[in-house]
Structure 1
């Protein structure tokens, strides 16, 4: 096979990409974990010192109206957030990430797929199915515990990602699907790493840590495949990829306003406080800061692939506030 080049200086690129998930048989959660992800019998006792979801990731919990409502309300809102996150994860793994993986497995991308890359993609597909299973299993238990009945059939983010694909020209859709998977997997690995540092209910902690162990490998794999793919794209495809990547990253950090309003009203938070919370969360500055902080691993992978060596890409992402020019 011809030596790959950066497409910028036409010098061979020195790298050693493995296109594997490591020793998958002995490390993948679906093969090795013994956790059953059942809520512990002493869950209420654990909640005296632990959380459903880290409060630092839910800044609205610091609003005076919520603090005044007390610990039980805070736990309910955290549980609602976790259920929403798990429902979203279940759909993300099945409908978005595994569709992205299919573009690798079935040769839909505009690049040769080495056998090792395809084999790892098949393993990753299996992992994501298991992640959907344990996410759904835990979500159902927490929803039952708190009698959470109003759960969106389709979270806003999934709807918007599907809309992005729908408006993409058909001949570019496989590439767009892959880019969705790349952004998703590099973002979620960082999110899980941060979340797992907190003291959470034991079964939630077990599930998130198992998920993180897999996603750390998935993030590396998708970063390698993106690097490999980027070098094969022509100028037109690179322009499309750059614009699509920016749209995807922005979408991943939008707030689901309708769901959040519903969650807060379910906890009987006053409408005036809800308006203040939503205004703060949806401001341009807040959106940009979430994206800039949350997409660090994605932006690093882009940089290592030579993406920002193209001045237009640098300017595009700088104007969006994701990087410094």
Structure 2
């Protein structure tokens, strides 16, 4: 069920009246020999010297291929990552704290996107029949790029990674959505399809922007960094020129020069400026959420050519945030009020060791060594080697003795359950940051079946992904 603390504003209350698939007729305007099949302004290849002065028929063939590549991109995106994500969002097991209305709207977006794919494919077939130009058989570049990023992650992270793929794709605003419908030189049926698509995507943009605003603050800081470092590559996967597809399309026209023309076009200053322009709404969303406050993430964006400003130095308390993430339980799971009375301290220490070992299995990047273990006092001391270096002490009893705090001194972070404010203050004065967990957390720790929500992810794929097949 949806979380009561989230006020969800649905953009789909009048979906039956406004959605393309629910309310509008098919667009079957006849083609005109006097009009282009794609907007020349949106085809940077035509600015290259080898094509700028080419015969009109050659340039029009390039525009037809630009339309084909755009349409195939749309079909594969909507039927692949976007609708896979919508199905995932609708699943009660994935982010169960989301408002029920938001989960319901995921099905409406799924329906919209499937219709976009069908109508887009229908237009592609109509243009092929009209022009006799055969589309290049290709797999869109973005799928390969996303598959590379997706496959590099452990399965426990992949649903969340794919969710952010979709958030990025649905919040970018490209020229095909804003400029193509307004270009009077383009075939009416192409403009109509783009206009209808853009109207639906405006609602989808608002939905995924709100989803991001719900989700990002709830992610542990280490997971924000992990996801944040992927985002510049995700943005470029969607916006970068599909060099393999355009090279294959141009080879019958330019022969061996096709690859050079495409590479030079992709690297041209005006092409890069168009990428930044399309990325601007997403970058504003990320900036407003503080994504670039992490200098590691800001540097990742800067390294890919995005002019973002980040914080001047690493954020304080990274070890503290890592431990907080490490102890997180799955989103939406209630810890309950039970503090597991009667469970001996040594059993709690054993459960904590199991908890940490499970977290290490979920992410091999977590590296630690147990330095000291006092089962009677309920204290475990570990040395973290990665992803940050720190000495961390865990006190897993809800009534720690004052003498126990002596064992916590000298650590970078001390995790304490219980009410000993004076002793905690003394630790802080000595340079140890304390993380005071509600004693109810112990109930989750002492549950033999409990598993940590390390990095904040708790889901498995509900169906095979298209990203597994690229």
**Structure 1 residues 37 and 151, CA gap change in structure 2 (3 angstroms):** farther
**Structure 1 residues 67 and 252, CA gap change in structure 2 (3 angstroms):** same
Q: How does 1:234-249 map to 2 (within 5 A)?
A: 234-249=220-235
Q: Does 1:300 align with 2:289?
A: no
Distance 1:298 1:107 in 2: 28
Q: Does 1:88 align with 2:73?
A: yes
Q: How does 1:9-20 map to 2 (within 5 A)?
A: 17-20=8-11
Which deviates the most, 295-304 or 19-28?
Answer: 19-28
Aligned residues of 2:243 and 2:263 also touching (Cα < 8 A): no
Aligned residues of 1:93 and 1:132 also touching (Cα < 8 A): yes
The equivalent of 2:172 in structure 1 is 187
Q: Which structure would you say has the larger Rg?
A: 2
TM-score, normalised by the number of residues in structure 2? 0.60
Aligned residues of 2:171 and 2:209 also touching (Cα < 8 A): yes
The equivalent of 1:280 in structure 2 is 264
Aligned residues: 306
Distance 1:18 1:309 in 2: 28
Q: Does 1:28 align with 2:19?
A: yes
The equivalent of 1:317 in structure 2 is 301
The equivalent of 2:243 in structure 1 is 257
Distance 1:206 1:319 in 2: 38
Distance 2:171 2:181 in 1: 16
The equivalent of 1:55 in structure 2 is 40
Aligned residues of 2:138 and 2:245 also touching (Cα < 8 A): no
Aligned residues of 1:111 and 1:232 also touching (Cα < 8 A): no
Distance 2:144 2:242 in 1: 11
Q: How does 1:129-144 map to 2 (within 5 A)?
A: 129-144=114-129
Q: Does 1:123 align with 2:108?
A: yes
**Which runs of 5 or more residues in structure 1 are unaligned?**
5-15
**Structure 1 residues 39 and 71, CA gap change in structure 2 (3 angstroms):** farther
TM-score, normalised by the number of residues in structure 1? 0.85
Residue 205 of structure 2, aligned match among 213, 219, 229: 219
Aligned residues of 1:87 and 1:136 also touching (Cα < 8 A): yes
Higher helix share goes to which structure?
Answer: 1
Distance 2:132 2:239 in 1: 28
Higher strand share goes to which structure?
Answer: 2
Distance 1:198 1:141 in 2: 20
How far is 1:3 from its partner?
Answer: 5.4
* Greater relative contact order structure (CA < 8 Å, 6+ sep): 1
Distance 2:52 2:294 in 1: 48
Aligned residues of 1:302 and 1:308 also touching (Cα < 8 A): yes
How far is 1:55 from its partner?
Answer: 0.9
Aligned residues of 1:101 and 1:181 also touching (Cα < 8 A): no
**Structure 1 residues 243 and 85, CA gap change in structure 2 (3 angstroms):** same
Distance 2:232 2:164 in 1: 10
How far is 1:25 from its partner?
Answer: 1.4
**Which runs of 5 or more residues in structure 2 are unaligned?**
310-470
Distance 1:316 1:64 in 2: 33
CA RMSD after TM alignment? 2.4
**Structure 1 residues 246 and 22, CA gap change in structure 2 (3 angstroms):** farther
After superposition, give the CA deviation of every residue in 1:206-227 in whole Å (9 maximum; x if it has no partner). Answer: 1100000000110111010011
How far is 1:156 from its partner?
Answer: 2.1
- Equivalent residue of 2:284, what SS? helix
How far is 1:261 from its partner?
Answer: 1.8
**Structure 1 residues 214 and 156, CA gap change in structure 2 (3 angstroms):** same
